Structure 1
């Protein structure tokens, strides 16, 4: 079927798709069985769309106030995608007459908050540049400020950082698809060369993207502003719905919600007092705040060997043991002659950071620790995608590998105003190596201090993503008919019993819903895993004792290394 506007609104035409076609669509995760099987028909309806261009330097970016429904059956979803490319005047797409059957829509792995798709078109005569389609997830209005995100994307685009922004609609956007780049996986981010590249790329974001003057006005960095905002929403809208339905939400926090709030406040006071209170906001830098492996892309032609300068350097400059051995009292640290490899930054542009929806003014230590904490997740585990694997948290040498790369690249002093016993008041008498090693140790300590902030942040995020309590659908809702508004059509969709023949009943339990998105992630269990690390860290830092937590939850607590350098 042609996707021109005239054909897209043609009335009286019926579209259908077989179950076999639904199975051929690429998915990033396995999906649970569903009762929702659909039969399809379409009738025309279209309203004029108002386009508001947004200027990025001399390049206008079209913006339209319309919602793209990625739960539509795939054929309808494809039709709406093509209609949007025309409405938004996507370069090289909107002037072509395209046939929907040649459009490929593949779900890309790596995203929890959004549904991300690679859009391709090739009919043998016309081959168009691929697009990245991002459709925002559910329950996100209270989590992400889309206007702020757009401002940040405009700022980044003006500096040619990240993919080019092509068009914006109410619940998503089109971006340039970076051909030849692959999404890193949970193992690749741990590679010692790639880890050093990640450290340098984060340093670029922190120091080369300037904050605006108003970013320093808040006494709270972005992560803590959101923590308090989310706590308020959870207390007002979510906790009551679970209490009303006699669901034990306290098990998510390993304590009562009220006590969890008190622990958060106890920890925040401890954390903030570690810094120079009068100059607290001077620590703010532009941070990504979500550098999980799915948000890191690598040029598939990149070879780590191309940037290795040498595998051993003099211990005064590169040996991890040179950093560790200075702390004679830290017996818990390994003191093997572990040596860091040295790498060049000449191919750092081979690594691209994407998805800036959580970015903003923050402490760099939060940003680095957020990345370290993501090492513990395996979002594509078919059975326990929510589970946090404490044993995968980077060990001391792995953390130092990234932190050393971060500190030495475009060296900045001081990297923060963390209160320390050691002071460098006279730079003319300070050995450069001593100064660098001090900054490495300081940032290492800060990542441990900020680790609970990271876990609290994503714990609350998971609860908001899950949303208020929803009772299971009643059996009477299985059979129903509805109309769904597409971009330029109304789709009449029959679901459940009305759309099945007698022969279909035996497949009712195992048949997938024919939709273009899925969300099987267990947000509550994910939040509980994050809370378990918070409790473990507060015990490890000496802020609470294990006896403060009810005994039934003791076996859930997760303990990570809380040892600090003595500086």
Structure 2
């Protein structure tokens, strides 16, 4: 797990790591620090700012308010467990000492187990930022007193800005409660208005871009996905709607972008076609054509029978591996794969609990193929790239053998037949009646799921592309270049107002720009517009190859940007 010290603010500016963000303002200077909220206003910024428990301007922390006026409610998990909750906001843009004081106050109010009864001091509280999260700000909290006595570490999650329309927090809480009842994921310890405290999984380390490519770890992930998909029951009343979770949110975000954000793009002189590579109305029509094409591949009468509980965000930052895990402990042997040249290792599931999946903010009923396809596309991202963290490296997409390695592990583990009602040339009854060759049924399911992942692959690109636009928030209209004068004490001073840049170019940030403090929300450390553009470049490449659109439907100037992945499928 990548952890950066929260007190990085105390290091000289020249020794800090370079920010991943690209400033949209060419007029920023080291002395012109502005808050994240100012540079990227929240869609609900008024409510957020008025509810904050403390602000830099007032230097007032939660501890100075009347704690006994806060009403703590409890959400029941089961007969002997409940989660305390309080309606108060935590401002993680505060200076470190103030932030620590507010954390201690919240811990006391929520009566966090083993912490709240201790006389906590800010000097003994260690706050470390965990990098890699894009939606939230994540911290590891540790406490070591003067006698070197330690408390169990806590994970603090502060929700990011501009996510009110991205995440249904009530639905997320109900899912987390359901997972907690199954003893899946870290324990919830306390909830506040814009975040929560969780159990910190000691000994677990976040996977990186290289580890997810490890064939043994990939097989474990396949089995862990299968557990999640089939062992968490769906509610027939609320979970089996006409659209799976990803498409419900895609429809919602398309409408939100069109009504709330698109007018601001036009006011800011930003042409949306630079992001979508087609006009926005055309983009909407293309997406609907793809959706209809995709849904028509399944039995319409039993469409919701394909739904399983899916994570929907299986990027490597949400996958943790225990530091004691050794791949060689679970490798049985190697058997020939389909091409009879390369090999796929056979592994045991006895160490599968060494891999933990976290962050269920986007989870819900969906097609398993979406979850797997989403994970494969995350192989192309490097969110820790100092220069281009937004970039999609299409040459890093897993090979066919690498895909089959995970899919084979998924299908064979706790075998389910049929896994979906995808329309195929081969008939279910014919395969079932062929009892003399059960291997052919497994092979059929592997090939079928491989095909489904190809068909679904554009869906997570649409999903995360729109997510990036919503996460980015409204654009500011450019200020007019003008010169103004103001009468000073000893004369007249000329004031120049610059124009804010809103382009998608790759120019480096100017030297001397003040980096965000490590403890401050990192919403601005990622270029969401370029990220969305990269995702949509993948979408167009897929749909061209599927024959849903023609390349000539896109202006020729954007052709070099389009990304093409292999869309060959098995004949099933």
Superposition TM-score tier, normalisation by shorter sequence: 0.7 to 0.9
1:115 partner SS: strand
Give the conservation status (yes or no) of the 8 Å contact 1:66–1:170.
Answer: yes
Q: CA separation in 1, counterparts of 2:12 and 2:90?
A: 19
CA–CA distance in 1 between the matches of 2:371 and 2:274? 28
Q: Displacement of 1:473 after TM fit?
A: 8.5
Q: Aligned pair 1:141/2:164, yes or no?
A: yes
1:226-245 CA distance string (max 9 Å, x none): 00000010000111111122
Q: Deviations over 1:507-553 (max 9, x none)?
A: 99444454532232000100000000000000111111211111010
Pairwise mapping of residues 77-226 of structure 1 onto structure 2 (< 5 A)? 77-125=99-147, 126-226=149-249
State how far apart, in whole Å, the 2-side matches of 1:90 and 1:320 are: 51
Distance 1:40 1:547 in 2: 55
Q: 1:36 maps to what in 2?
A: 33
Q: Secondary structure at the match of 2:429?
A: coil
1:352 matched residue in structure 2:
356
* Alignment pair present for 1:55 and 2:76: yes
CA displacement 1:363-398 (0-9 Å, x = unmatched): 000000010010010001000000000000111000
The TM-score, its normalising length taken from structure 1, stands at 0.85
User: Aligned pair 1:240/2:263, yes or no?
Assistant: yes
Deviation at 1:46, TM superposition (A): 3.3
* Structure 1 alignment gaps of length 5 or more: 1-16, 313-318, 322-334, 477-506
Partner of 1:376: helix, strand, or coil? coil
Alignment match, 1:320: 337
- The Cα offsets for residues 71-105 of structure 1, whole Å up to 9 and x where unpaired, read as 11111111111111111000111011111012111
Partner of 1:437: 443
Is the partner of 2:155 in helix, strand or coil?
A: strand
CA RMSD in angstroms comes to: 2.4
Q: Alpha carbons of 1:158 and 1:226: their partners in 2 closer, same or farther (altered >3 Å)?
A: same
Q: Deviations over 1:300-352 (max 9, x none)?
A: 0100000001123xxxxxx322xxxxxxxxxxxxx351221000000000000
- Once the two structures are superposed, what CA deviation does each residue of 1:417-457 show, in whole Å capped at 9, x if it has no partner? 00000113152423210000000000000001001111110
Q: What's the CA shift for 1:475?
A: 12
Q: Which residue matches 1:550?
A: 555
- Correspondences of 1:231-380 after superposition (within 5 Å): 231-312=254-335, 319-321=336-338, 335=339, 337-380=341-384
Query: What CA distance in whole angstroms lies between the structure 2 residues aligned with 1:18 and 1:189?
Result: 29
1:348–1:530 CA distance, 2 compared to 1 (3 A): same
Aligned to 1:489: none
Q: Do the aligned residues in 1 keep the contact of 2:468 with 2:532 (CA within 8 Å)?
A: yes
SS in 1 for 2:343: coil
In structure 2, the gaps of 5 or more residues are 1-6, 24-28, 36-55, 483-509
Rate the CA distance shift 1:194–1:87 in 2: closer, same or farther, 3 A: same
SS in 1 for 2:237: helix
Partner residue in 2 for 1:520: 525
Q: 1:208 to 1:337 in 2, by over 3 A?
A: same
Q: Retained in 2: the 8 A contact 1:26–1:107? A: no
CA distance 1:30–1:128, shift in 2 (3 Å): farther
Give 1:46's aligned residue. 66
The Cα shift of 1:27 comes to 8.2
On the 8 A contact 1:320/1:337 being kept in 2, the answer is yes
CA contact (8 A) 1:216 1:281 kept: no
Secondary structure at the counterpart of residue 129 of structure 1: coil
Which residue matches 1:535?
Answer: 540
Q: Distance in 1 between matches of 2:295 and 2:325?
A: 41
- Alpha carbons 1:37, 1:511 under 8 Å: kept: no
TM-score (norm 2): 0.84
Local SS of the residue matching 1:211: coil
**Contact in 1 for aligned 2:144/2:150 (Cα 8 Å):** yes
Equivalents in 2 of 1:74, 1:472: separation in Å?
33
Cα deviations by residue, 1:190-224 (Å, 9 ceiling, x for unpaired): 10000000000000000000001124441100100
Give the number of aligned pairs.
Answer: 502
DSSP 3-state at the match of 1:290: coil
- Which of 69, 88, 95 is the equivalent residue of 1:73? 95
Aligned counterpart, 1:483: none
Maintained 8 Å contact 1:25/1:106? no
CA separation in 1, counterparts of 2:154 and 2:162? 25
Structure 2 partner of 1:405: 409
